[in-house]
Structure formats: structure tokens, C-alpha cells
């Protein structure tokens, strides 16, 4: 399956922000996407899957796993804790309580050397990034995702969890 054009542009813009920079993970659930409005479960799902793909493919890295002991625990929390805070869930990490907005806003994500090289290959001059979709870049992302076992799909990679399912699975409740 190909990345839809609108999502391809959003993904290109989002990854461009992380190219050589560190930002909160919340950018993966923000931005203009008419087909997937912000503050919806579908946008949350897109954010979880996009971060997972980008980490799995070595395009971005998560600093300190957001206070969680490992990536598995971190992604469990990202699947359980809504980025917009509408679900009043809190998980105990063993060190501190973390809420949805806390993990999404407080987790530092940075672009890797692989992401830098990818952008340099498809946007070679400093003025080469014009904000328009570069189809070759989008196709390269599709190949990278497929080669790393996380191909683009309209099916969730890591389905978001309800508060009840998430709290029960982690042993945390509120």
C-alpha cells in the first residue's frame, strides 16, 4: 500500500521538523490533515504508528524512553495515554506517574543521522525544501518502512488501547 498523498505531505513535514532537531513527540499527532482531524482516536493511532515506524527504521530516536525502562513499556504507554488528555489516565512507571499529555509533550524525540542523510538525498540544497510533496521521498519512506518490517498500511501496527485495557495490562489504575 502506498502512503496517501495528504499523509505523505504531513509525514514529510513532520520528519522535516525533526531533521537535525529535537522536539516533543506531540508533533506526531499535530498538523494539518483534513482526512484525520486532530484530537481524534484516528490521529492518536496515526501518531503511535508513525513514531513506531520512525523508531524501528532508525529515522528518529526517543531520549531516555520518556522515563520508561524500555521501548516496549514506552510504546505501551503511548498506546494507552491519549495525547490530548481527554482520557484521564495515569500510569505509574516505577519512578513517577505519567499522563497522556506528559508522555506526548514531555518526551524528546530527535532525528538521526539516517534521517539527515535521507533528507539530504531528496532535498539536496538548503533552499531545496519548498513544502511541496516530494513523491520520490515518499516512495523512499515506503521502501524503508517495508525493509524494516513496518510497511505502510491502513491497519494499525500498535493499536491504541482503552484506558481500562491499558491500566489492566500495566498494573496501573486511577
Q: In the numeric block, which cell numbers belong to residue 19?
A: 531533521
For position 106, what pLDDT does the model report?
77
Beta bridge partners of 60: 111
Global confidence as pTM: 0.84
The dihedrals phi and psi of 123, each to the nearest 5 degrees, come to -135, 70
For position 86, what pLDDT does the model report?
55
**Do β-strands 108-111 and 22-24 pair in parallel, antiparallel, or remain unpaired?**
antiparallel
Domain extent listing, the chain: 5-165
Cα–Cα distance for residue pair 131/112, rounded to 1 Å = 21
Contact 66/74 with Cβ under 8 angstroms? yes
For position 88, what pLDDT does the model report?
41
For position 162, what pLDDT does the model report?
63
Beta bridge partners of 62: 109
Beta bridge partners of 74: none
- Alpha helices, H only, 19-134: 41-56, 71-80, 100-106, 113-122
For position 96, what pLDDT does the model report?
42
Cell 521501548 -> residue? 71
Cα–Cα distance for residue pair 148/131, rounded to 1 Å = 27
Q: Which helix (H) or strand (E) holds 108?
A: strand 108-111
Q: How would you write the pLDDT of the chain (174 residues) with one tens digit per residue?
A: 899 999 999 999 999 999 888 888 888 989 889 999 988 899 999 999 999 999 999 999 998 877 788 899 899 989 988 887 654 444 444 444 444 556 787 788 999 999 999 999 998 876 767 888 999 999 999 999 999 999 999 999 999 986 444 333 333 322
Amino acid at each position: 500500500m502506498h502512503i496517501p498523498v495528504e499523509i505523505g505531505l504531513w509525514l514529510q513535514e513532520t520528519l522535516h521538523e525533526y531533521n537535525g532537531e529535537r522536539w516533543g513527540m506531540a508533533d506526531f499527532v499535530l498538523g494539518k490533515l483534513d482526512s484525520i482531524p486532530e484530537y481524534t482516536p484516528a490521529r492518536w493511532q496515526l501518531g503511535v504508528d508513525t513514531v513506531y515506524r520512525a523508531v524501528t527504521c532508525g529515522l528518529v530516536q526517543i531520549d531516555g524512553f520518556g522515563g520508561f525502562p524500555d521501548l516496549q513499556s514506552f510504546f505501551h504507554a503511548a498506546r494507552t495515554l491519549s495525547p490530548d488528555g481527554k482520557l484521564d489516565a495515569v500510569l505509574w512507571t516505577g519512578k513517577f506517574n505519567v499522563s497522556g499529555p506528559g508522555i506526548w509533550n514531555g518526551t524528546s524525540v530527535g532525528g538521526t543521522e539516517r534521517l539527515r542523510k535521507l533528507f539530504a538525498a531528496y532535498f539536496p540544497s538548503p533552499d531545496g525544501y519548498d513544502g511541496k510533496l516530494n513523491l520520490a521521498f515518499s516512495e523512499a519512506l515506503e521502501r524503508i518502512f517495508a525493509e524494516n518490517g513496518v510497511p505502510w498500511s491502513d491497519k494499525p501496527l500498535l493499536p491504541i488501547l482503552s484506558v481500562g485495557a491499558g491500566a489492566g495490562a500495566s498494573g496501573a489504575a486511577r
